[in-house]
């Protein structure tokens, strides 16, 4: 699920379009380039051959009122504010969480378009000013071809089905669903068959990705502990809402066994992805910040040791993904937005 509401009153220095200067302390990011220019752009993920990206955006210059899914050919993309990639979703409803299927020609994503053409409303402001995400029950998971033709609906259960990603082995899909009464991880075959719940702890389990060998998952999870926290979580979930301000990084096998808590940093730790070696995990966190909206990329060993900060520019950096060959990293950031609120996609050569 896209987290653009995390982007509050952020600021960043304005730089040249395209090539971005190397920031001191961002030693892993070489030849950093900006590849989108306007609106909120997030959850960009490589195709299996590494030549394309799918991502979601609400760029108002393209007539969008809420997130839709696009495909970008990295070889044809331009460092140009007028460049517009290919629309993959229907253009109706709200969409989130696209990911390539094997073969580089099909993309799955979640959408509310069957429930209506309009964008479902964002959560209403609350008197307690609590920061919340909506988990729309109208979301289901669809597959479209590279030209945007819808080919298949993979889920049709009552409730939220979204956040789907695909195993590098091309045989399994992991996704988040609340069909059993809580937000849990589920797996299914690549064709949507054999849907099975694999987590069961009270709390929001989501944003899961497979390990490079396809045997494990890394994901974010909230685990309300006190009676009061658990009551609040359950009450919000009845309203199709979650408060994502206390999450940690976990791993497990693809059947849910061998569950391990990797971080115990406090605050919001999310958007994890395995390093190409499978021995480290990169993720976004605000645990270090004096204010809640300072999100930077960090990397940590599989055992939770050797925490390393990866970014230090701007106040929002998230959704990191390594290319299949491990040579590049794509992520979302508020850097280079001229002091506005735009969140754009950036790509860099990765240096260990």
In a domain, 25, yes or no: no
pLDDT of residue 126: 86
What 3 state SS string does the chain have? CCCHHHCCCCCCCCCCCCECCCCCCCCCEEEEEECCCCCEEEEEEECCCCCEEEEEECCHHHCCCCCEEEEEECCCCCCCCCCCCEECCCCCCCEEEEEECCCCCEEEEEECHHHCCCCCCCCCCCCCCCCCEECCCCCEEEEEECCCCEEEECCCCCCCEEEEEECCCCCEEEEEECCCCCCEEEEEECCCCCCEECCCCCCCEEEEEECCCCCEEEEEECCCCCHHHHHHHHHHHHCCEECCCCEEEEEEECCCCCCEECCCCCCEEEEEEECCCCCEEEEEECCCCCCCCCEEEEEEECCCCCCEECCCCCCEEEEEEECCCCCEEEEEECCCCCCCCCEEEEEEEECC
- Please name every residue paired with 134 in a beta bridge, in sequence order, or none if there are none: 241
In a domain, 168, yes or no: yes
Residue range 217-241: mean pLDDT, rounded:
97
Q: What's the rounded Cα separation, in Å, for the pair 154 and 140?
A: 8
Q: What's the rounded Cα separation, in Å, for the pair 349 and 311?
A: 14
pLDDT of residue 25: 84
pLDDT of residue 11: 31
In a domain, 17, yes or no: no
Can you give the residue range of the structural domain that contains 165?
A: 32-350
Tokens read off for 107: 């993309």
In a domain, 190, yes or no: yes
In a domain, 210, yes or no: yes
Q: Would you place residue 79 in the very low, low, confident or very high pLDDT band (cuts 50, 70, 90)?
A: low
Nearest to 220 by CA among 275, 302, 285, 312: 285
User: Residue 14 pLDDT more than 60?
Assistant: no
Q: What backbone torsions phi and psi does residue 333 show, to the nearest 5 degrees? A: -155, 155
Quote the distance between the C-alpha of residue 75 and its chain's center: 23
Q: What backbone torsions phi and psi does residue 261 show, to the nearest 5 degrees? A: -90, 120
> Tokens 């299949």 identify what position?
324
Long-range contacts of 196-201 (CB under 8 A, 24+ apart): 197/256, 198/252, 198/254, 198/255, 198/256, 199/252, 199/256, 199/259, 200/256, 201/259
Handedness of CA 131, 135, 138, 143 (dihedral sign): positive
Residue 154 sits in a domain of what CATH number? Answer: 2.120.10.30
Residue range 96-112: mean pLDDT, rounded:
98
Question: How many domains in the chain?
Answer: 1
> Tens digits of per-residue pLDDT, 273-292?
999 999 999 999 999 988 77
pLDDT of residue 18: 56
Residue range 70-80: mean pLDDT, rounded:
82
| Cβ atoms of residues 79 and 18 within 8 Å | yes
User: Residue 319 pLDDT more than 60?
Assistant: yes
pLDDT more than 70, % of the chain = 92
In a domain, 249, yes or no: yes
> Tens digits of per-residue pLDDT, 113-166?
999 999 999 998 888 888 999 999 999 999 999 999 999 999 999 999 999 999
Handedness of CA 256, 274, 106, 160 (dihedral sign): positive
In a domain, 19, yes or no: no
What is the biggest distance separating any 2 CA atoms in the chain, rounded to whole angstroms?
54
Q: Find all residues with CB under 8 Å of 324, minimum gap 6, and list them.
A: 46, 48, 49, 50, 168
Nearest to 319 by CA among 282, 289, 293, 350: 282
Q: What's the rounded Cα separation, in Å, for the pair 160 and 137?
A: 4
In a domain, 2, yes or no: no
> Tokens 């379009």 identify what position?
17
pLDDT of residue 15: 37
């Amino acid at each position: 699920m896209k987290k653009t509401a995390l982007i509050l009153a952020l600021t960043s220095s304005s730089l040249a379009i395209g090539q971005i200067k190397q920031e001191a302390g961002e030693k892993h990011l070489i030849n950093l380039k900006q590849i989108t220019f306007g609106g909120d752009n997030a959850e960009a993920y490589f195709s299996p051959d590494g030549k394309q990206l799918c991502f979601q955006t609400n760029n108002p210059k393209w007539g969008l009122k809420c997130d839709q899914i696009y495909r970008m050919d990295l070889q044809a993309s331009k460092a140009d504010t007028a460049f517009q990639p290919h629309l993959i979703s229907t253009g109706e409803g709200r969409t989130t969480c696209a990911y390539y299927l094997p073969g580089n020609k099909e993309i799955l994503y979640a959408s509310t378009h069957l429930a209506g053409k309009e964008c479902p409303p964002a959560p209403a402001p609350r008197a307690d000013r609590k920061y919340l995400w909506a988990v729309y029950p109208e979301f289901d998971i669809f597959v479209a071809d590279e030209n945007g033709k819808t080919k298949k609906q993979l889920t049709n259960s009552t409730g939220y089905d979204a956040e789907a990603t695909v195993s590098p082995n091309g045989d399994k899909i992991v996704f988040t669903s609340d069909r059993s009464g809580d937000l849990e991880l589920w797996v299914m075959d690549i064709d949507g068959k054999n849907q099975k719940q694999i987590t069961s702890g009270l709390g929001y389990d989501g944003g899961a990705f497979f390990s490079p060998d396809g045997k494990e998952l890394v994901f974010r999870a909230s685990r309300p502990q006190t009676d009061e926290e658990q009551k609040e979580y359950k009450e919000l979930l009845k309203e199709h809402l979650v408060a994502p301000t206390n999450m940690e990084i976990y791993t497990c096998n693809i059947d849910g066994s061998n569950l391990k808590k990797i971080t115990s940093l406090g605050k919001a730790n999310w958007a994890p992805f395995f390093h190409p070696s499978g021995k480290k995990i990169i993720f976004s966190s605000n645990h270090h910040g004096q204010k809640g909206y300072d999100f930077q990329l960090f990397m940590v060993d599989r055992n939770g040791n050797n925490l390393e900060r990866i970014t230090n520019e701007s106040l929002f950096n998230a959704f990191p993904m390594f290319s299949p060959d491990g040579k590049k990293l794509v992520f979302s950031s508020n850097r280079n937005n001229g002091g506005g609120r735009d969140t754009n996609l950036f790509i860099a050569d990765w240096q260990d």
